[in-house]
Amino acid sequence: MRLILFGPPGVGKGTQAKLLAEEFGIRHISTGDMLRAAFAAGTTLGRKAKSLMDAGQLVPDDVMIGIVREVLASPDNKKGFILDGFPRTLAQAKALTKFFDELKITDYRVVNFELDDDEIVRRLNNRLVCRKDGKIYNKEMDGLSPGNPCPACGGELYQRDDDLAETVRKRLKVYHMTTAPVIEYYKAGGMVVNIDGNSSIDVVNREIKMMVN
């Protein structure tokens, strides 16, 4: 299974990636998680990335392409992988095609999640993330607050700095201007499947599995 999960922030890519990675024993490659881990580790890259992330901006292509090149080259990915949050620009998509060619990867799918902006703002405003296992919750639906323990692993739940309403609006602007057009690049190759981001977690999970089987 080789998937590229594509779509706006807050649409459910991370949730689905985690479920599928667990079910199939394959790697979840989240560039956002990697940048947050770099910041938590106190690296220079992490600090630089954090200020861009908090401003709702993208991290430069050369940095992101370098990170993904290294990860994809690892033998851990032989069984498959789920890319979540990459590519976000046309330059990244073209670089990825080049890596796939080099690695002789021909069979992959692009899962294109669709959801309207108002629902995204509502969801991100309600999103809580576990510091330990990265699981994602919804304040309203799950009845949880920042600081509560994660129901799955007991880690601390927190709200991402870039999930504040004002930053979400900026991220959406960047998404519509820079990232959304990238889907045309993949549509031209005929490997895109659309997913309704309003469907439940279970329904989306089933749809993705049906599509890749």
Give the active site residue among 27, 36, 50, 88. Answer: 88
Share of the chain residues as helix, strand and coil, in percent rounded to the nearest 5: 50, 15, 30
Q: Which one among 88, 123, 127, 135 touches ligand AMP, defined by CB under 6 A?
A: 88
> Could you tell me which of 96, 93, 113 has the C-alpha nearest to residue 13?
113
Q: Quick check: 9 binds ligand AMP (CB under 6 A)? A: yes
Q: How far is the CB of 28 from ligand AMP (least distance, A)?
A: 12
Phi, psi of 49 (to 5 degrees): -65, -40
Phi, psi of 111 (to 5 degrees): -100, 115
Q: Is 171 a catalytic residue?
A: yes
Q: Quick check: 65 binds ligand AMP (CB under 6 A)? A: no
* CB closer to ligand AMP out of 124 and 204: 124
> Could you tell me which of 64, 68, 65 has the C-alpha nearest to residue 52?
64
Question: Positive or negative CA dihedral for 55, 198, 130, 140?
Answer: positive
Q: How far is the CB of 158 from ligand AMP (least distance, A)?
A: 14
Q: How far is the CB of 128 from ligand AMP (least distance, A)?
A: 14
**Alpha carbon distance 162, 173 (integer Å):** 14
Q: How far is the CB of 63 from ligand AMP (least distance, A)?
A: 8
Q: Quick check: 80 binds ligand AMP (CB under 6 A)? A: no
List, as own/partner pairs, every contact residues 126-133 make where C-beta atoms lie below 8 angstroms and the sequence separation is at least 24, other chains included.
Answer: 127/10, 127/159, 127/160, 127/163, 128/157, 128/158, 128/159, 129/157, 129/158, 129/159, 129/160, 130/155, 130/156, 130/157, 131/155, 131/156, 131/157, 131/158, 132/156
Q: Is 127 a catalytic residue?
A: yes
Q: Which listed range, 49-57, 111-119, 140-148, 200-208, lies at the site for ligand AMP (CB under 6 A)?
A: 49-57
Q: Is 88 a catalytic residue?
A: yes
Q: How far is the CB of 22 from ligand AMP (least distance, A)?
A: 18
Q: Which one among 5, 21, 58, 130 touches ligand AMP, defined by CB under 6 A?
A: 58
Q: Is 132 a catalytic residue?
A: no
Footprint of ligand AMP (CB under 6 A): 9, 31-32, 35, 52-53, 57-59, 64, 85-86, 88, 92, 162, 171
Active site residue ranges:
13, 88, 127, 160, 171
